[in-house]
Amino acid sequence: MMIFLDANILISVLNQEYPIFNYTSRILSLADRSGYQLFTSPICLAISFYFSEKKSGSKGAKKKLQLLATKIGVTKVDQRVVTQAINDKRVVDFEDGMEYYSAIEEGCQLIITEDVADFFYADIPVMDSRQFIREFF
């Protein structure tokens, strides 16, 4: 299963934000299990770095992202993705629209985010971390 992880999932793991860290860390552990491929976008990585740097400093945040980058794939945010997000009248949050279309272009079958309502227009399932753990673990 190809899964897209939103920035809030990554931030929870990088900053050990409870109570959702209990769920998000289990989701990230899927990177080491066969049958699962985890992805995120460059935008999500940048957002995650920003919040990790606030807590862990620049060096610490870079180390965390370095490890994260070895575990998950990175989708493309190119002209096609940007255009799709701009032209989709249902997209309210442009950043989320780019994340959604980069996930679709990569072939992701599911999006995990703590802001499920932001992806109300999605043609693939969107779950929060708790829901994913209940359904797949």
126 DSSP β-pair partners = 111
Query: Would you state the pLDDT for residue 40?
Result: 98
Query: Would you state the pLDDT for residue 137?
Result: 87
Query: Would you state the pLDDT for residue 85?
Result: 98
Q: What is the mean pLDDT of the chain?
A: 97
Q: Which residue has the tokens 């299963």?
A: 1
Mean pLDDT of 97-105: 98
User: Which residue type does 96 have?
Assistant: D
Q: Note the pLDDT tens digit of each residue in 46-86.
A: 999 999 999 999 999 999 999 999 999 999 999 999 999 99
Q: Do residues 55 and 15 touch, judged by C-beta distance below 8 A?
A: yes
Mean pLDDT of 118-127: 98
What structural domains and CATH numbers belong to the chain?
2-136 (3.40.50.1010)
Residue 50: partners with Cβ closer than 8 Å, 6 or more residues away: none
Q: Do residues 122 and 88 touch, judged by C-beta distance below 8 A?
A: no
pLDDT band at 38 (very low <50, low <70, confident <90, very high): very high
